[in-house]
């Protein structure tokens, strides 16, 4: 045994050092860029975008939709239109900025999505949806087209239509004051 070299034993079990598996460097670079390729070659820490892409995505459920069962939501929708003597950005801020919502009787809404200053989608406290489209009409005027959807019945639709007309009238008065 004098002429034999000693052979290192392999670590087995939970004390064994962990070696990160090498990722396919070409695929990483194609999907995530140069930093991901370098990380894959080194077997080191993955970039954040890479880690996020490997995680399963949770579906988003709005609070109002989670509370209100779908069968309770109706299929009635009403539309209201009005031309205002204000710029589209002023109207957009009146809907979007909570400190500027004095014009509205419906204070409990939240903005679900927006494309400034042209479009807003609002989720009302009762689970109904409001889509607001703002179109420029010259230098200091704009048209506001509003659709309130998922209303339970025609009577609720008519009440919402009256409320939105009054609200847009109050908005016009407040915007004239600024």
Question: Do 75 and 63 form a contact (C-beta atoms < 8 A)?
Answer: no
Question: Do 53 and 133 form a contact (C-beta atoms < 8 A)?
Answer: no
Q: Measured between alpha carbons, how far is residue 72 from residues 75, 96, 121 in Å?
A: 10, 27, 20
Q: Measured between alpha carbons, how far is residue 84 from residues 145, 155, 172 in Å?
A: 11, 27, 6
pLDDT at res. 99: 86
Q: Are residues 34 and 92 in the same domain?
A: no
Question: Does residue 158 sit within a domain?
Answer: yes
pLDDT at res. 64: 46
pLDDT at res. 62: 47
Q: Are residues 35 and 123 in the same domain?
A: no
Q: Which of 15, 33, 54 is the last residue of a domain?
A: 54
Q: Are residues 88 and 30 in the same domain?
A: no
Q: Are residues 44 and 67 in the same domain?
A: no
Question: Does residue 150 sit within a domain?
Answer: yes
Domain that holds residue 50: 25-54
Q: Are residues 72 and 134 in the same domain?
A: yes
Question: Does residue 102 sit within a domain?
Answer: yes
Question: Does residue 72 sit within a domain?
Answer: yes
Question: Does residue 11 sit within a domain?
Answer: no
Question: Does residue 105 sit within a domain?
Answer: yes
What is the total residue count of the chain? 178
pLDDT at res. 43: 65
Question: Does residue 12 sit within a domain?
Answer: no
| Helix 25-32 with 34-42: angle, nearest 10 deg | 150
Q: Are residues 50 and 69 in the same domain?
A: no
Q: Are residues 128 and 96 in the same domain?
A: yes
Measured CA to CA, the distance from residue 8 to residue 18 in angstroms comes to 17
Q: Are residues 36 and 105 in the same domain?
A: no
Measured CA to CA, the distance from residue 174 to residue 163 in angstroms comes to 16
Q: Are residues 158 and 107 in the same domain?
A: yes
Domain total of the chain:
2
Q: What are phi and psi of 155, to 5 degrees?
A: -65, -40
In eight-state DSSP terms, residue 3 is T
Beta strands in 7-118 (DSSP E): 76-84, 110-115
Q: Are residues 72 and 155 in the same domain?
A: yes
Question: Do 121 and 130 form a contact (C-beta atoms < 8 A)?
Answer: yes
pLDDT at res. 112: 93
Q: Are residues 140 and 88 in the same domain?
A: yes
Q: Measured between alpha carbons, how far is residue 42 from residues 30, 33, 35, 46 in Å?
A: 17, 15, 11, 10
Q: Are residues 129 and 50 in the same domain?
A: no
Question: Do 160 and 173 form a contact (C-beta atoms < 8 A)?
Answer: no
pLDDT at res. 26: 60
Residue-by-residue pLDDT tens, the chain, 178 positions: 555 555 555 555 555 555 554 555 566 566 666 666 666 666 665 555 555 555 555 545 444 445 555 555 678 999 999 999 999 999 999 998 888 888 988 778 999 999 999 999 999 988 899 999 999 998 889 999 999 999 999 999 999 999 999 999 999 999 887 6
Measured CA to CA, the distance from residue 148 to residue 130 in angstroms comes to 4
pLDDT at res. 100: 87
């Amino acid at each position: 045994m004098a002429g034999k070299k000693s052979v290192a034993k392999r670590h087995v079990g939970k004390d064994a050092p962990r070696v990160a598996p090498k990722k396919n460097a070409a695929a990483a670079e194609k999907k995530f860029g140069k930093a991901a390729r370098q990380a894959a070659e080194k077997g080191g820490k993955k970039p954040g975008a890479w880690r996020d892409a490997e995680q399963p995505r949770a579906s988003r459920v709005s609070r109002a939709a989670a509370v209100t069962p779908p069968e309770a939501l109706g299929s009635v929708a009403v539309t209201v239109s009005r031309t205002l003597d204000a710029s589209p950005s002023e109207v957009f801020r009146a809907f979007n900025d909570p400190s500027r919502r004095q014009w509205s009787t419906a204070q409990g809404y939240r903005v679900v999505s927006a494309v400034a200053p042209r479009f807003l989608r609002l989720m009302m406290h009762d689970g109904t949806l409001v889509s607001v489209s703002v179109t420029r009409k010259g230098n200091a005027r704009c048209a506001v087209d509003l659709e309130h959807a998922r209303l339970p019945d025609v009577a609720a639709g008519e009440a919402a239509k009256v409320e939105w007309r009054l609200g847009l009238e109050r908005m016009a008065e407040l915007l004239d004051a600024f």
